[in-house]
Structure 1
Amino acid sequence: MTLKRGRGQHRKYLPYAFTEQGVAMLSSVLKSERAITVNIEIMRAFVQMRELLASNKELAQQLKDLETLITRKLATHDQAITGILKAIRELMQPPVPKGRPIGFVELEEKK
């Protein structure tokens, strides 16, 4: 329902629109060629709207599924990248010598 303004009052009235069932019922009453042609076009419009709504729901579901999949993959990739960076940092640090050095070592003179 919509509001119609008139003389300071708001009166409600029904919009001029047909439902799909209303159009089907109208086709049983109207018999002219033009009425039949228009009725067929209106029914096709309803079918297209229904298909569009259905495809949008499917597309929304596919998008949600894709988002979930990417989120899961990114979580596992983040863990893998963290492990790689940790290994690189460990490789960048010089190794700590174990035991005494091999070879000749100069001794400092005592004074």
Structure 2
Amino acid sequence: MDAYLSSVLKSDKAIQVNIQIMRAFTRLRQLVLDSSELRKEIEELRNEAENKFQIIFQALDQLISVEKTPKKKIGFTAKEKKSSYGEVEKSD
């Protein structure tokens, strides 16, 4: 919130706050890049996530391939012609 406010305000104090915020984010980014242990953990998390998504995509591919196979029809099939359905025999 301070970053938004300080970037809108034009006072010297607001400008200094904005500069400090940008420096803090720059320093934080540099710390993340410099930390080999943190970088290793991030890489492991990324690999783990990719593996999990790979499993999900494989399962989705299997579901799609199963849907493409024709399904056996179930239920009752009438052997009469459709035109005779619903007709009532007339008696004189």
TM-score by length of 1: 0.43
**Bigger Rg over Cα:** 1
Q: From the two aligned structures, give the one with the greater strand fraction.
A: 1
Q: In proportion to residue count, which structure has more helix?
A: 2
